[in-house]
Structure 1
Amino acid sequence: MKLRDSYKPYPPAAMISIIVLVFALILSLTLAPVGHAASAGSGDGKDKPLRPFPQHMSYAEGSIKPSHVTQKQMDAEVALLYDQYKLKYIKKNPHNSNQYYVWYNDGGWNGDAITVSEAHGYGMMITALMAGHDSEAKKIFDGMYRFFRAHPSEIHPDLMAWQQADRDGAIIDVNGTDSAIDGDMDIAYALLLADKQWGSSGAINYKNEAVKVINAIMESEVHPEHFHLQLGDWVPISDSEPSFKPASRPSDFMLQHLKEFYKATGDERWLNVIETTYGIIHDVHTSYSPQTGLLPDFVYRDLDGTYKPVSEFEWTSESGHFLESEFDGAYNYNSCRTPWRIASDFLLTGDKRAYDQLSTLNKFVSEKHNAPHEVWSGYSLDGQTKLSEWDGGLEFTAPFMVSAMIDKSNQQWLNDLWDYHTEEANSTAVEWRYYYGNSIRLLSMIVVSGNWWSPTGVAATDIAGHAAEEDIVKSLAEGVVNGYPNGKFKPDEAYRARSLPLCWRRR
């Protein structure tokens, strides 16, 4: 195409994204960017939230929300669930009054342990998102940050030791003082949220602290050659047999987090991690769960470079299984989170690289079960074998609510799932409703109600089916463009100098 073609009022659709980038590159030298990665919108560090609950986000074009309840009713339900969650699980450190943690041992299965980094990451994200509803949100969040900093991994001090217990008048790290990647990723994301919620000019520079954690994850929890997410910072220095270095866990595939990490740091290795992660989802789905879309608890990189469920290998461990149980290669208590984690990425970014897997999963589960309470707590990847006697566990049902949002064909299923997860239907306080399910339920309801938001941008809402869709989504995911504030890109409209800064983000 000749240069003069770029001055047409309505340029060819396929060239829209190229023209946006060319003009934006020139203008970025003289025009102040909107949505700058270094904390645009940061406030004065006071308690007043800048993005108070509720937020009512516009998600990716084609996505849906429950149609039988109003937005006001959804907000009220989320607020109620949060209040119950806070009452039951958010605890002040009895030995240090300026620290808070999330109590996770209501099931009584973990000895005297009181929390883990997984729970802490959940709590920090939830608290940042619910500011505006909870006037104590910043105080609690800062207390959680201080608890996190009081319990560093012995391997990398910017990551969190994975488990704590209350012993002899102090909360101490137990069962090893190394990290688990899921908690670290959520803590980093929560700090990015806090930067946009309260600003970073107060006592805690949330943005700087987030970048420290993100860089530590890259340094100690990402495979340096293959760029898959590893299980924790203990993996690179482990000489155990079997080796855990080729292993990854699909429940850690927080793709939207990864995109935010790239935007926050500019470290292009995160783009490699994103590509690898999408590739694992695609390969495992097409090769091992083409009819169900179910992903295993753990995958392992074979010598030929492909990632496979760990059940495809023979393990020489004493137990005969890979790490946790005989169901490590099935859809179990780790991977039950994948519909929530992966679908959230589509809703916020519009990226369709995992759309087929999610669509297959939605079709499988909605056709297999007549109602949410019938959903199994664990499946073989072919969907034929039930792994537990329990049905209707919130940790399994709630993530399906998020994945159902990707397409209008799931409307009735989504409505049914919403009703099943209300406080009235399944009370948080009920003894046998435990931390894990209650936490995942609340986080999923935050997403479904439209109150899950990105620290840096919104999904494109007007590009579905457009010739430039793929280019725009990729540029959005990589932080090159932001779109207009309402998520629109107006791909068939002529661009003018005064509108380009709305879309452009300086690297």
Structure 2
Amino acid sequence: MKSSGKRVIRKSALLFCVVLLMLPAGLSMAANQKPFPQHTTYTSGSIKPNHVTQTAMDDAVKTKWNSWKSSFLKPAGTGQYYVKYNSAGETVSEAHGYGMILTVMMAGADANAQTYFDGLYRYYKAHPSNQNPYLMAWKQNSSFQNIEGANSATDGDMDIAYALLLADKQWGSSGSINYLQAAKNIIGAIMSHDVNQSQWTLRLGDWATSGSFNTATRPSDFMLNHLKAFRKATGDARWDQVINKTYSIINSVHSSYSPNTGLLPDFVVLQGGSYQPAAADFLEGANDGNYYYNSARTPWRIATDYLMTGDTRALGQLEKMNAFIKSNTSQKPANIKAGYTLGGSPLVSYNSGAFYAPFGVSAMVSQNHQSWLNAVWTYTANASAEGYYEESIKLLSMLVMSGNWWTY
């Protein structure tokens, strides 16, 4: 009998080892504390789509996530993952930040979420900026080598930092990766390298330290809820100055350059003591001073802060933008164009998910936009697949619209 008992114990131990070997590499088995779906209660008076059930919205997000994951989340050697940015297999830190936020938020719907997140974290650590090892080099090729300069882009740095804070809330920081300490490290680097501490503005990246680039900023980086999370996590009061200055720029540019539309330009420069739209070809192209592929994200980025905190300092700009886009399109999302002047003239004749999906998030700020929000949700959820950028923004916007966004 004793011998038989030992055999049972040995078989049980062997079975346990086999099960461990079958688990995805890097899985630390931490329990999800904020599993999808979250059904977050947003600011009082805000709305969600009300023409479909909550379950239908949750399912639409999961469907979009599975499609996004299949298309763009790829292994990058042992224990690492990256977000495939284009057909050449390149990636950028912007994409990496999106991937880290998405994987931590989809935990609960995806059993491998923490494995993916940790692999993305290890890829970030393997590609440091040459200005500060806690920031991420902004672009790599399909061989995972840095290209076009090993410096950082502020949006990628901010999303990575925010995702690490969320990971601390989701899984805790007592496992193989101390997410909270990693977040504090990159937040400190953002303050020292991505913030102009004379103006308290967000730089374009850690490289933008001279000439007009030193005082320029990019409204699509105005992730106010991220900034508030950085303040909360670190206790660093300097973030209050960045937050206040960011709101100030939103309102001054809106009142001076887009009073009838609320649209913000891709880039803002400081000239003669005031902030104004950048001239054509300031950094990326002819539309640097227009509402184009960077600023298309602002309805999502800025409105998310209102939904999370109720801070009304940018609400006037959001509501002017909502009124403009509803009127300009006859409340038909298919009529949204992929770019506008700040005066509201379309730049192109086609649309893009990078442009229409974020307007669903900004519509959530008031009950006056219920039918419009419903239309944008349906159009976004049923739209054909596009490229990495559009699909990422659609999924991130759907997370917010469905009530499944949460914060640190």
TM-score by length of 1: 0.74
Which residue matches 1:419? 378
Output the amino acid matched with 2:197. P
1:189-204 paired onto structure 2 within 5 Å: 189-204=162-177
- Distance of 1:113 and 1:180 partners within structure 2: 19
Output the amino acid matched with 2:117. F
Which residue matches 1:97? 78
Which residue matches 2:22? none
Q: How many residues align?
A: 381
Q: Secondary structure at the match of 2:156?
A: helix
Equivalent of 1:400, from 346, 352, 359?
Answer: 359
- Distance of 1:380 and 1:91 partners within structure 2: 37
Q: Does the alignment pair 1:257 with 2:238? A: no
Q: Does the alignment pair 1:437 with 2:390? A: yes
CA contact (8 A) 2:212 2:270 kept: no
Which residue matches 2:20? none
Equivalent of 1:450, from 399, 403, 406?
Answer: 403
Deviations 1:161-185 (A, max 9, x none): 000012xxx4211110000000000
Output the amino acid matched with 2:83. V
1:282-431 paired onto structure 2 within 5 Å: 282-304=251-273, 306-311=274-279, 321-370=281-330, 371-384=332-345, 386-391=346-351, 393-422=352-381, 425-428=382-385
Q: Does the alignment pair 1:48 with 2:31? A: yes
Q: Does the alignment pair 1:243 with 2:212? A: yes
CA contact (8 A) 1:113 1:163 kept: no
Q: Secondary structure at the match of 1:121?
A: helix
Residue segments in structure 1 that go unaligned for 5+ positions in a row: 1-44, 107-111, 312-319, 456-507
What is the deviation of 1:449? 0.6
What is the deviation of 1:48? 2.1
- Distance of 1:409 and 1:243 partners within structure 2: 41
CA contact (8 A) 2:212 2:269 kept: no
Which residue matches 2:206? 233
- Distance of 1:387 and 1:217 partners within structure 2: 34
Which residue matches 2:144? 171
Q: Secondary structure at the match of 1:397?
A: helix
Which residue matches 1:492? none
Equivalent of 1:68, from 32, 41, 51?
Answer: 51
Which residue matches 2:15? none
- Distance of 1:389 and 1:245 partners within structure 2: 35
CA RMSD after TM alignment: 1.2
CA contact (8 A) 2:231 2:239 kept: yes
Output the amino acid matched with 1:263. K
What is the deviation of 1:387? 1.4
Q: Secondary structure at the match of 1:143?
A: helix
Which residue matches 2:3? none
Residue segments in structure 2 that go unaligned for 5+ positions in a row: 1-27
CA contact (8 A) 2:86 2:388 kept: yes
What is the deviation of 1:373? 1.0
Deviations 1:204-223 (A, max 9, x none): 00000000000000000100
Deviations 1:52-93 (A, max 9, x none): 000000000110000101111111110111011111110001
- Distance of 2:40 and 2:293 partners within structure 1: 29
Which residue matches 1:485? none
Deviations 1:281-327 (A, max 9, x none): 000011110110000000011232x211113xxxxxxxx62111111
- Distance of 1:46 and 1:290 partners within structure 2: 51
Q: Does the alignment pair 1:216 with 2:189? A: yes
Which residue matches 2:245? 276
- Distance of 2:101 and 2:68 partners within structure 1: 13
Which residue matches 1:487? none
Output the amino acid matched with 1:51. K
What is the deviation of 1:113? 5.2
CA contact (8 A) 1:285 1:357 kept: yes
What is the deviation of 1:49? 0.8
Q: Secondary structure at the match of 1:91?
A: strand
Output the amino acid matched with 2:339. G
1:2-81 paired onto structure 2 within 5 Å: 46-81=29-64
Which residue matches 2:103? 127
What is the deviation of 1:246? 1.2
Moved over 6 A (4+): none
What is the deviation of 1:243? 2.8
Q: Does the alignment pair 1:206 with 2:185? A: no
CA contact (8 A) 2:336 2:355 kept: yes
Q: Does the alignment pair 1:140 with 2:116? A: yes
What is the deviation of 1:97? 2.2
Which residue matches 1:159? 135
Output the amino acid matched with 1:155. Q
CA contact (8 A) 1:294 1:331 kept: yes
CA contact (8 A) 1:117 1:183 kept: yes
Q: Secondary structure at the match of 2:74?
A: strand
Q: Secondary structure at the match of 1:192?
A: helix
Normalized per residue, which structure has more helix?
2
- Distance of 2:359 and 2:231 partners within structure 1: 27
